[in-house]
Structure formats: C-alpha cells, structure tokens
Amino acid sequence: MYIPNEFEIKDKNEIKSFIKENSFGMIISYSDDGFQVTHVPLLLEEEDETLYLYGHFAIGNGHWKLANGRRVLAIFNGPHYYISPRWYRANEAVPTWNYMTVHCEGQFNTIDNVKNVEILKKMLEYYEIDRELKNKMEEPYYSKMSKGVKSFSIRIDKIYAKYKLSQNRTHDDRLFIVENLRKINTQDSLRMAEEIIRCNNDMKGEGTVKPPLKE
C-alpha cells in the first residue's frame, strides 16, 4: 500500500482501536487457484505482545482450505468520503478521497474443534447486544453451530495503517473541508469530519470556520 509519510499511522494502540471499531474485514489470499477474498468479522487479540486475528468461514467456503498454512492479507476499512476541490481555500486544487484503512499480513491457520467453539462464544459475546439471548445460549448450541463453520487464526507480523485526512492541507483548508462535510449532514460525512478533527493536532478545539469564499 502506498503511504506518504504524512498519512502513515504507527501508534499501536490507535491501530488496535481502529481494527476493533471496524472489525468487518476482508481476507485475501493467493494460491494456484488465483485470488480468494472473503468478507468476515474478525476479533483482535494480543498474546505475548503478538497480535492475532480470529474468525471463521462457512464450512462450505473452500477459502479456508486454500489459505491454510499460507500468508494472507486482512484489510479493515474505516470512514471515507469524497473531498471536492471547491472545499479548499487555494485557487487551484483537485478532487480527492479521504479514507482510513489498516492492512495486516500474517500466517493463516485453521483451528481445532475445541478452540472453534471458544471462538464462536467470543464472537457472540462481542457482537450480540441482547444480553438475555446470550444468557440462554448453552454448550450444545455452540457445538451444533461449530459444525457448520471452520475457525482460523492469523498471526500478524506486518501492519500498514493509513489515515488520509487532509494532513497535507493547510489548517484553513481543513476547517473549510470540515464545514462542508457537516453541511452534507450524512452519517458518513459527519464521521469523516470528526476524524479529521480528531487526527489533526491543530484541529482540536476548533468549533467554527471562516465563511466560504465568494465565487
């Protein structure tokens, strides 16, 4: 992944938080059968300072067989949004796209049946918001469910994190971008506006922007 210096994120805690908040990822592998891609929720855990991703494929999805014992790429995408050239103070500008993404490379290994049930429990505990439903689920439920899936781990050994959030623009440009994103007033545009403020140190505490330039 191409990452200019101003967009690279190295803070481990920030990266871990990003993965957990945007945990529906893509697993990409390559074999003699070509590229394989599966979209799955993934759990991040740290063991002895090593990061692991855990998840499962449907048993009928042959991707787990092709990926087993091989290196794979897991991609997590966060908020993204189009940035208009009219949102810059400069007279000359080009359209671009702001986005946040983390790529993880590592070894893919399938997991035995005992661990398979453990991972299913952790998945449901993490994602299911209905406490009453979780309390009703007992061992036979998980054991039966585990027969239809194949769990796996990915031992992460490389991480690339990129936040393209207008860091290469001036402070005034960023303020104007935030103002226009807020005017659009959609969930995606508002989330991007908040990330620009959060991740640019000179934006913290900014509540107002200058009025748009007149045509």
Band of the pLDDT at 134, cuts 50, 70, 90?
A: low
* The pLDDT of residue 17: 97
Average pLDDT, the chain: 90
Residue 154 CA to residue 25 CA, distance in Å, equals: 13
Residue 62 CA to residue 175 CA, distance in Å, equals: 48
Helix (H) or strand (E) holding 19: helix 12-21
Q: How large is the C-alpha radius of gyration of the chain?
A: 21
| pLDDT at position 52 over 70 | yes
Q: Tell me how far CA of residue 143 lies from CA of 11, 113, 167, 170, in angstroms.
A: 38, 9, 49, 56
5-168: which CATH topology? Pnp Oxidase; Chain A (2.30.110)
* The pLDDT of residue 209: 45
- The phi, psi pair for 82, rounded to 5°, reads -65, 140
Residue 109 CA to residue 152 CA, distance in Å, equals: 5
Band of the pLDDT at 118, cuts 50, 70, 90?
A: confident
* The pLDDT of residue 136: 67
* The pLDDT of residue 156: 98
Task: List, as one string, the DSSP characters of 27-91.
Answer: EEEEETTEEEEEEEE-EEEEETTEEEEEEEEETT-THHHHHTTSEEEEEEEEEEEEE-GGGSSSS
In 59-215, which ranges are continuous DSSP H helix? 63-67, 113-127, 131-136, 139-146, 171-184, 187-199
Number of residues that make up the chain: 215
> Can you give the residue ranges of every domain in the chain?
5-168
Secondary structure class of 214 (helix, strand, coil): coil
Predicted structure pTM score: 0.89
